[in-house]
Amino acid sequence: MPAELIDGRAIAKKIRADVAERAKKLAQGGLRPGLAVVMVGDNPASAVYTAAKSKAAEEAGFYSLNLRLPADTSEADLLSRVDALNSDPKIHGILVQMPLPKQIDPDTVIRRIDPKKDVDGFHPVNVGKMLIGERDGFIPCTPAGIQVLLKESGVKTPGKDCVIIGRSNIVGKPMAALMMQDNENANCTVTVCHRRTVDLKAHTRAADILIVAAGRPRIVTADMVKPGAVVIDVGTNRVNDPSTKSGTRLQGDVDFESVSEIASKITPVPGGVGPMTIAMLMANTVRAAEMTVR
C-alpha cells in the first residue's frame, strides 16, 4: 500500500495563518513584528529564498526589511549593519542569508546577531538552550518544522528509533538534539549517520523514523527502509530533466517512487519540508516580538 503523503504545504499554511492572527493581535496593541532579511552578493538561489521570506513576512502583516548588499561588502560593514538592526526597535528578527562571500566569516556574523533576534536559531546561545531543553530560545527552522510535521501527521515518537542522515549545524545536529528531548514530541533513540558511517543500510533499516538530510539525490532507496517507517526527505537537489521547460527539477535525497511503496508516511519534494522552513521562520519572528511585551 503506498505511503501516506505528509503535506507540508497544508501544515505550513495552518501555521502561517496562526502567525498572522498573533501578529494582528500584537498590532492592535501597537506593536508590529519586524523581520530583516540581509543578503550579500547576487547568488540566484539566495535571491529566491530571501524574496520568499520577505513576501511571507509581508503576508503575515509584519514590517519587512529586505537588505541587499553588494558582493564586495566587507565583514566590518556587514557587522555594522547587524549592529544597527540589533538596536532597531522596529526589528524583532534578523536573518543573514547564507552563503556569504569568501571575505566574510559566517560564524562571526551569526555570533554578532542578538540572540533575542536570532530567528534562524543558529547563535551559540540558542543552540545551547536547545541542547539542554530550555524553551525560551529559538530552534533552527527546518528541524523545528520537521518536528511539527511529525506531530501534525499523527506520528507518535516516544520510544521510536530515529535515524538521521547528515550532521550539519543547520539540520542534522539540531534535529538529533530535538528528537532526544524528554517530551511527547520526541523521546526517541537517535542515531546520526554521516559520510564516515560504516554500513549505512544497517542503520537505516532499523529506523522507525528516517530523516534524510544528506544533500545527495536518491541516496536512500527502498531496500534501505524498514517497511512501515516514516520517511522525512529534507533534500532539495536540482538535477537535469530534459522533459521540463527549465531542463531541471528538484529531487530529494530519497528515491520517492520506490520508497513510497515501503514507508507508511513520506514527505514529497517539493511540498514537504520546504514550506515548513519559512513557516517556522515566521513563527519564530512573531514569538520574538511577543517576548518584547512580556
Of the chain, the percentage scoring pLDDT greater than 90 comes to 91
Q: Confirm whether 16 is domain-assigned.
A: no
Question: What is the average per-residue pLDDT within 146-175?
Answer: 98
User: Does one domain contain both 153 and 101?
Assistant: no
Are 77 and 158 in a shared domain? no
Q: Is pLDDT above 80 for 24?
A: yes
Q: What pLDDT sits at residue 280?
A: 98
Domain check: are 159 and 83 in the same one?
Answer: no
Question: Residue 188 is part of a domain; what is its CATH number?
Answer: 3.40.50.720
| pLDDT of 294 strictly over 80 | no
CA 97 – CA 39 distance, rounded (Å): 5
The verdict on 110 and 146 lying in the same domain is no
Same domain, 145 and 250: yes
pLDDT of residue 87: 98
User: pLDDT value at position 263?
Assistant: 98
Which of 96, 114, 132 finishes a domain? 114
* pLDDT tens, position by position, 110-143: 999 999 999 999 999 999 999 999 989 999 999 9
Dihedral, CA atoms, 236, 240, 243, 244, nearest 10 degrees? 50
Q: Which of 47-51, 153-157, 199-203, 236-240 has the lowest mean pLDDT?
A: 236-240
Please give the mean pLDDT across all residues of the chain. Answer: 96
176 inside domain: yes
Is the same domain home to 266 and 145? yes
Whether residue 168 sits in one domain with residue 210? yes
The answer to whether the CB of 12 falls within 8 A of the CB of 276 is yes
Domain assignment of residue 286, yes or no: no
Specify whether 199 is located in the same domain as 257: yes
Q: Which residues contact 140 (CB under 8 A, 6 or more apart)?
A: 120, 121, 122, 130, 170, 171, 174
The reply to whether 147 and 270 lie within a common domain is yes
Distance CA 66, CA 265 (A): 37
Task: Tell me: do 270 and 176 sit in the same domain.
Answer: yes
Find residue 254's DSSP bridge partners: 220
Q: Is the peptide bond before 99 cis (omega within 30 degrees of 0)?
A: yes
pLDDT at position 241: 82
Give the domain-ending residue among 78, 95, 114.
Answer: 114
Q: Is the dihedral of CA 257, 259, 263, 267 positive or negative?
A: negative
pLDDT tens-digit profile of 184-220?
Answer: 999 999 999 999 999 999 999 999 999 999 999 999 9
**Owning domain of residue 110:** 30-114
Question: Are residues 190 and 250 both part of a single domain?
Answer: yes
Mean pLDDT value across residues 11-39: 97
Q: What is the pLDDT of residue 117?
A: 98
The cell for 86 is 540589533
Rounded to the nearest 10°, the torsion over CA 262, 268, 269, 272 is -140
Q: What is the pTM of this model?
A: 0.95
The answer to whether the Cα torsion of 25, 26, 28, 33 is positive or negative is negative
Give the CATH number for residue 110.
Answer: 3.40.50.10860
Give the range among 42-46, 158-162, 224-228 with minimum mean pLDDT: 42-46
Q: What is the Cα–Cα distance from 57 to 16, expressed in whole angstroms?
A: 10
Which residues form the catalytic set?
53, 97, 120
Spell out the residues 6+ positions from residue 154 whose beta carbon is closer than 8 angstroms to its own: none
Count up the domains in the chain and report the number.
2
pLDDT per position as a tens digit, 56-97: 999 999 999 999 999 999 999 999 999 999 999 999 999 999
Provide the 10 A C-beta neighbour count for residue 195.
10
Q: Are residue 150 and residue 209 in the same domain, yes or no?
A: yes
Q: Looking at this protein, which amino acid is placed at residue 103?
A: Q
